[in-house]
Amino acid sequence: MEHSLFNNAIDRDGVFVLDYRLLIDGKIIYIRFKAAKIIENGKPLLIIGILDEDAQIRREQEYERNLSVAKQRATRDALTGVNNKYAYYDDEKLLKDRIENRERPR
């Protein structure tokens, strides 16, 4: 962790948060490192904690997977596998937005 990044965040916001993905015994674990600056009896103190964020991150990942599957099912014909009219509406809107924003084609 870069020292100046930590100090800048603490000085600016009073708190520093950094999410980690650890590999322990071949298993990925998600944690959050959090540091907060407080004043107690006129002296600055730094409170540091490590939070287990694994369950929350896994719920969010599952939600994203389910949302992706639902969107694919909603925009694709189940029998032929061809995009349906909703998929083309989405593509048309995306293309229109890119033209309006003068973005280059991808």
The pLDDT tens digits for 62-80 are 999 999 999 888 899 888 9
Give the global pTM.
0.56
String of DSSP letters for the chain: --HHHHHHHHHHHSEEEEEEEEEETTEEEEEEEEEEEEEETTEEEEEEEEEE-HHHHHHHHHHHHHHHHHHHHHHB-TTT--B-HHHHHHHHHHHHHHHHTTPPP-
Domains of the chain as residue ranges with CATH: 3-54 (2.10.70), 59-100 (no CATH)
The pLDDT tens digits for 7-51 are 777 778 788 888 999 999 999 999 999 999 888 999 988 899 999
